[in-house]
Amino acid sequence: MIAQPPRKVRVTPIVLRDASRWRGVNHKFISLGIKFELAVVVDAGIRIIPKSEDNYHRIIRLFREEEVPHHTFPLPSERNIHAVIRGVHATL
């Protein structure tokens, strides 16, 4: 049996709402050693795809400290799972 390579963990993108702040933000990324795979201009601003979950958290922390307008969704590993079990009474 051929061993499959491990699946790459999908990291949620972060959208920098104010594209004019990109130069300063990118300079901070370099000085702090924050790595990202891709930064693409989109209608809402600049979409940044971090290399890892650690880099995702570091970017979010930096944006909150510097009050940089941004938008993101929770990481897949941090989302709550909701299940519906049919036939079980709601009081359980």
The answer to whether position 6 is within a domain reads: no
Using an 8 Å Cβ cutoff, are 59 and 50 in contact? yes
Q: What is the CATH number of the domain that holds 24?
A: 3.30.70
Q: Which residue in this structure is represented by tokens 């971090």?
A: 50
Number of domains in the chain: 1
Q: What is the pLDDT of residue 92?
A: 66
- Going residue by residue through the chain (92 aa), what tens digit of pLDDT does each one get? 677 776 666 788 999 999 999 999 999 999 999 999 999 999 989 999 999 989 999 999 999 999 999 999 877 777 777 777 788 777 76
Q: What is the pLDDT of residue 39?
A: 94
Q: pTM for the complete prediction?
A: 0.74
Domain range enclosing 64: 14-78
Strand partners, 46: 16, 41
